[in-house]
Amino acid sequence: MRPPYKIMLQALIPVIIIASVITLFTNYHSQRLTKDEIAAFENSLLDAKKTVLRSYISLAQASIRNADLSPGAHGLTGPPDKPTRDEAIRILATLATEPDADFFVYDFGGNNYVHPRQPGQVGKNQLELKDSNGVPVVRNFLRRARNGGGFERHAWKNAESGKMTDRMSYVVALEDWQWVLGASVNLADVNQLIQATDVETAARFRQNSIVIGGLTVKAVIIIVVTGIFFGLHERREADTKLKELTQRIVETQEEERGRVARELHDGISQVLVSVKYSLELARLRAEQKSDDVGDAIDKGAEGLNSAIREVRRISRDLRPHMLDDLGLSPALESLAGEFSERTGIDVKISTTPFRRSLPTDAKTTLFRVAQEALTNIERHAGAANTKIELGLTRRGVELKITDDGKGFETSRYEGNQHSTGGLGLRNMKERLAYHNGEFNVVSTANGTTIYARLPRSLLRSDADGKPAEIYQHETEEAWRDSTKPA
C-alpha cells in the first residue's frame, strides 16, 4: 500500500472508532438519564392519580356519613340495617366522578354491591376474578383493604371497548359494615404520556446518532479526499521524478558515449593511424631493402602498446576490474595514482582493507562518488593537493575527500537537476540515498570536503554472526576525530 493511503487508513480507523465510542457512550448515558426522567415523570403522574383516588374515597365516606339514614342513622359505625345499606349503595352509585373513574363496593366474601360503570357485575361473586395476567384482582382488593388499605395496580376490562386497560384502585375496609370501599381510575393517559416520552427520546437518540454519523461521514470524506489528493499529488511527483531520472539516465548515457567516442577518436584512433603509417613505412623500406626497417617496426610496436594501454584505461574507467578482483581500497589507490599522474595534483590516500565486507553495489557507489569527486576537482577546483580517507565510524562506512581548491557555493548545485561534471552532486546524493546513506558537502574559499556515508547495516557478517572487521586503525575515536569537518 502506498504511503498516502496508509496514512489515510491510519487516520480513518481512529476517527471511526472515536465516533462509534462517542455515539455509544452518549446514547448509553442519554438512555440512563431518560429512564430516570421517565421514571420520575411517571411517579409524579401516579402520585397525582393517587391524590385523586384518596379524594374520591374521602368523598364517598363523607357522603355516606352525612346522608340522612333515619331511623337508623348508623353512619359508618355499627352493622348497617338493610335501609341504611340500600341508601349507602344508592348514594355511591350516583356519585359523580371523571369519565375514566368510578366507585366499587365488595363485601368480605367477594360479592359486588356497587359498580356504576358495569351494573351487570352487581350482585355477582367475583372472588376468583383474575385479570389478563392471571392476577386475582378482587382477592388483592380484600387483602389490601383488611391490611389497612392502599393502592393496587391491575388490568380491568373496559365497559365500552371491551379491551383490557391498565388501572389503579385505592381501597379501604369498612369493618363494621364488612365492606371494601374502592375507587378506580384509568391509567391510559399516563401510559400515553410515557409512550410519547419514549418516542421523543428515541427520536432524540436517532437525531444524535444522525448528527454524529453525519460529522463522521464528513470527516471520513475529508480524509479520503485528502488522501486521494495527496496520493495523486505524490504519484504526479513520482512520475515527474521518474521522467527526470529517465532523462538524466539518457543524458548520462549519451555523455558517457560521447566521452568514450572522444577517447576512441582522440586517443586510440590517432595511435592506430600512427601505427598504420609506421607499418606502411616499414613495408616501403623493406621493398627498398633499406637498413632502417627495424626503426619503423619498433615505432609501430610502440604505438600498438600505447593503444593497448589506452584501451585498458578506457575499460578501467567504464568498469574497474580491480574493484571486483581486489576490493574497494586497492581500486581507490589505483584511481588516486592515475589521477595524480594525469593531472599533477598531489593525492594522499588513507584507506583500509574491506575484506569483501561491503556488497558489490555499495562498493561501486563509493568508488563512483570518489571518481566523480576527483573529476570535479580536476575540472573546477584548481586544487594542488587532495586527500582521500576511507574508514569506519560510529555512523557507518565513511568516504571523505578533501581538496585545497577555491571552493564553490553548494546551494547552486545541490538542486540542479542537470548539473555538469558527470553525475553531479545531486546524483552522488541519489546514489547514496539508494543505500539509505548520507551525502554532505562543506565548501569554503580554502577548499571543499565531501562526506559519503553508508550505514553499518550494509556490512556483511562472518560465520559467527559478528560484523566483519573492515579496517586496521589505531582507534575508532581517532578516525572519527580525523574526519570531522573543520
How confident is the model over 255-282, as pLDDT tens digits? 777 777 777 777 777 778 887 877 888 8
Mean pLDDT in residue range 115-144: 83
Task: Compute and round to an integer the Cα radius of gyration of the chain.
Answer: 55
Which residue carries 419514549 as its cell?
198
Residue-level length of the chain: 486
When mean pLDDT is compared across 121-135, 175-189, 305-319, 417-431, the lowest value belongs to 417-431
69, pLDDT greater than 60:
no
Mean pLDDT in residue range 457-470: 53
Q: pTM (2 decimals)?
A: 0.45
Split at pLDDT 50, 70, 90, the class of 484 is very low
> Own/partner pairs for 26-31, CB < 8 Å, 24+ apart?
26/208, 26/212, 27/205, 27/208, 27/209, 30/201, 30/204, 30/205, 30/208, 31/201, 31/205
56, pLDDT greater than 60:
yes
Query: Which domains can be identified in the chain, with CATH numbers?
Result: 9-191 (3.30.450.20), 322-482 (3.30.565.10)
Task: Give the percent of the chain with pLDDT over 70.
Answer: 81
Q: Cβ distance 381 to 413 under 8 Å?
A: no
Q: Which amino acid is at 153?
A: R
Distance, in Å, from the CA atom of 22 to the CA atom of 16, rounded to the nearest integer, reads 10
Mean pLDDT in residue range 344-362: 76
When mean pLDDT is compared across 50-54, 72-76, 369-373, the lowest value belongs to 72-76
Residue 319: exposed, middle, or buried by beta-carbon count in 10 A (0-12, 13-18, 19+)? exposed
Mean pLDDT in residue range 432-436: 83
417, pLDDT greater than 50:
no
Going 63 to 69 to 73 to 78, the CA torsion angle's sign is: negative
Q: Which three cell numbers stand for residue 44?
A: 409524579
When mean pLDDT is compared across 145-159, 209-223, 453-467, the lowest value belongs to 453-467
483, pLDDT greater than 50:
no
Q: Do β-strands 346-350 and 385-393 pair in parallel, antiparallel, or remain unpaired?
A: parallel
Split at pLDDT 50, 70, 90, the class of 472 is very low
Q: Do β-strands 447-454 and 438-444 pair in parallel, antiparallel, or remain unpaired?
A: antiparallel
Q: Which three cell numbers stand for residue 272?
A: 592506430
186, pLDDT greater than 60:
yes
Q: Which three cell numbers stand for residue 81?
A: 340495617
Split at pLDDT 50, 70, 90, the class of 475 is very low
Q: What is the DSSP letter of 239?
A: H
75, pLDDT greater than 70:
no
Q: Do β-strands 179-186 and 101-107 pair in parallel, antiparallel, or remain unpaired?
A: antiparallel
Q: Which three cell numbers stand for residue 8?
A: 489515510
Split at pLDDT 50, 70, 90, the class of 170 is very high
Residue 387 forms beta bridges with which residues? Answer: 348, 402
Taking only the tens place, the pLDDT of each residue in 322-340 is 676 777 788 888 888 888 8
| Inter-axis angle of helices 188-263 and 3-66, nearest 10 | 180
When mean pLDDT is compared across 53-67, 103-117, 174-188, 409-423, the lowest value belongs to 409-423
pLDDT at 200: 79
Bond into 467 cis (ω within 30): no
When mean pLDDT is compared across 108-122, 239-253, 373-387, the lowest value belongs to 239-253
